[in-house]
């Protein structure tokens, strides 16, 4: 069974609720008849209600960009899986490299968040990827193995079927430098191999592995044609309705 691709937008810290509504007004008609792939948009928290409302009745899913692993409590500034669900979210990005780089996210916190997201019934998109120094030192495979092993620790069972991974080489994020389709496919194989070791062959064969890092309308087709690439996580090029629709319909 071929894996259905997921094309997900990561808006990062861009857009107000009004701008989110405006995006959906322009975007939804462009993808109304698109059924080949799943589509998700992950706006900032404050836009979630507006995005959920705007996307109602469409096939576009809404997700958070992060979450905390506790349900509720004295954790100022954090947001939990039940809160995301209550807003109408179905997806959540976990362990994005910007969170690892600027906000102290580690393989261990990624693992805790992943466990909670799966338990809550969310579809997590776990991000992994090497920085340029690691790639140049020939450490890509080792880094991916470490990040995957850390993330997948203790994850098993039926709920793990919703797990999604995004391979995002950090040197390709927001730089206009994209991994070649072959390079990405190679990394995806490493990730799938680690998933097979941690989760078993069956789950690993169904695991969707997205590519992220400077995906644009003009390179989406080459990337998405790789059998190993099961979708895209798109930052910059997802902020504009026409450009994101161009990627969805590569």
Report the residue number, 193 or 216, with the smaller CB distance to ligand PGA. 216
Q: Is 186 a catalytic residue?
A: no
Please give the C-alpha separations between residue 155 and each of 3, 114, 163, 201, in angstroms, as whole numbers: 21, 8, 10, 14
Q: Which residues of 128-163 are buried (b: 16+ CB within 10 A; e: fewer)?
A: bbbbeebbeeeebbebbbebbebbbeebeeeebeeb
Q: Kindly state whether residue 169 participates in binding ligand PGA, applying the rule CB under 6 A.
A: no
Closest residue to ligand PGA, Cβ-based?
Answer: 235
Stretch in the footprint of ligand PGA (CB under 6 A) among 74-82, 117-125, 192-200, 212-220: 212-220
What contacts 179, CB < 8 A, 6 or more positions away?
A: 169, 172, 187, 211, 213
Q: Is 38 a catalytic residue?
A: no
Find the shortest distance in angstroms from Cβ 236 to ligand PGA.
3
From 38, 105, 168, 228, the catalytic residue: 168
Any idea which residue has 């990624």 for tokens?
110
Binding mask 172-191 for ligand PGA (x = CB under 6 A): -xx-----------------
Any idea which residue has 């169904």 for tokens?
206
Q: Kindly state whether residue 233 participates in binding ligand PGA, applying the rule CB under 6 A.
A: yes
What span, in angstroms and rounded, lies between the C-alpha atoms of 154 and 199?
Answer: 9
Give catalytic residue positions: 96, 168
* Binding region for ligand PGA (CB under 6 A): 10, 168, 173-174, 212-215, 233-237
């Amino acid at each position: 069974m071929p894996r259905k691709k997921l094309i997900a937008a990561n808006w990062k810290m861009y857009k107000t609720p009004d701008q989110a509504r405006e995006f959906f007004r322009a975007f939804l008609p462009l993808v109304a008849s698109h059924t080949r792939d799943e589509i998700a948009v992950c706006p900032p928290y404050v836009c979630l209600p507006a995005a959920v409302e705007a996307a109602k009745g469409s096939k576009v899913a809404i997700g958070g960009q992060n979450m905390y692993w506790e349900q509720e409590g004295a954790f100022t500034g954090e947001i939990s899986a039940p809160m995301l669900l209550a807003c109408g979210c179905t997806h959540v990005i976990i362990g994005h490299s910007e969170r690892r780089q600027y906000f102290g996210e580690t393989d261990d916190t990624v693992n805790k968040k992943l466990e909670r997201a799966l338990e809550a019934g969310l579809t997590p998109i776990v991000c992994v990827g090497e920085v340029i120094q690691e790639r140049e030192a020939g450490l890509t495979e080792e880094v991916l193995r470490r990040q995957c092993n850390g993330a997948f620790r203790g994850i098993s069972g039926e709920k793990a079927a919703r797990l999604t991974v995004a391979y995002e080489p950090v040197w390709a994020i927001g730089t206009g430098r994209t991994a070649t389709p072959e390079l990405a496919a190679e990394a995806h194989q490493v990730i799938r191999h680690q998933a097979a070791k941690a989760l078993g062959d069956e789950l690993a064969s169904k695991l969707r592995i997205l590519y992220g890092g400077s995906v644009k309308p003009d390179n989406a087709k080459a990337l998405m044609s790789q059998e190993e690439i099961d979708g895209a996580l798109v930052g910059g090029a997802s902020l504009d309705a026409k450009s994101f629709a161009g990627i969805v319909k590569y």
